[in-house]
Amino acid sequence: RRGILKKYITEGRIHVGPWYILPDEFLVSAESIVRNLLLGHKIASEFGRVMKIGYIPDPFGHISQMPQVLRGFGINNIIFWRGIEYDQTQGNEFIWQGPDGTDLFAVHLPKVGYCNATSLPEDVDQAYKLIKEAIDDLLSRETSKSLLLLNGVDHLQAQPHIPRLAKELNKRFSDIKIKQGNLKEYIDYAKETVKPNLNKVTGEFRSGKDAPILQSVYSSRMYIKQANERCETLLEDWTEPTASLAWLLGNNYPQNLI
């Protein structure tokens, strides 16, 4: 069904990328993170378009250079959850600055993470109660007029009743409009309506105070991590540099072998 998927992606009905897979940033090399984005862009482009949203909702903390990495791919924003304390961000949106001064428009997800509107019941009264709680939580940290309610989450299928539910919920709210959309629409409207002088944060995000960062992953199945590190070292520090030097001297570059 590649054809229909490509059609929907090209039309903007399905958004894919920019990553190939969400990285655990502290378990792989810097080059692996860059290649991850390169591969994600390549595959997404083959299907029509790349989502230029730095959506990294669930990795267990974030490296300080992520603003530089994303900016290098033309991405000027990030949406994430773990690793930073809510006292640091001082709102739903803030500015994250990398070591070189590069900055991103950053969105810090609520304490429940990227599922504050998941598994909504078809019953309007029950759904209204859940949505109101989520909205009240977002309003307590409001920095723009754009509030993000995330219905999708790991291991769950799409809920076909959401369009009807959104229409019914809008009848219940007098000062809030619920719209089913995508992350780009959210980011664009947040930037349009954001308050001036957002809080600026620098450095890596490794705190587990408000959301666990599951540091036990660093020592589990150590043999796999060691094997991955050996592969990264061989490819990044030896094979590719040597092959590049040989290519400059007139030899064929062994792309298919690497």
d(CA 116, CA 237): 43
Active-site hit among 58, 137, 188, 210:
58
| Beta bridge pairs of residue 62 | 205
Can you state the angle between helices 162-170 and 124-139, rounded to 10 degrees?
Answer: 70
Per-residue pLDDT in tens (0 to 9) along the chain, 258 residues? 999 999 999 999 999 999 999 999 999 999 999 999 999 999 999 999 999 999 999 999 999 999 999 999 999 999 999 999 999 999 999 999 999 999 999 999 999 999 999 999 999 999 999 999 999 999 999 999 999 999 988 888 999 999 999 999 999 999 999 999 999 999 999 999 999 999 999 999 999 999 999 999 999 999 999 999 999 999 999 999 999 999 999 999 999 998
Taking CA atoms, 230 is separated from 21, 28, 224, 234, 235, in Å, by 20, 11, 10, 6, 9
In terms of Cβ atoms closer than 10 Å to its own Cβ (0-12, 13-18, 19+), residue 177 is exposed
Omega before 18 within 30 of 0, i.e. cis: yes
pTM of the model: 0.93
Taking CA atoms, 166 is separated from 20, 87, 123, 137, in Å, by 31, 32, 12, 19
Structure-token match 């490296």, residue found: 63
58 has catalytic annotation: yes
d(CA 8, CA 231): 36
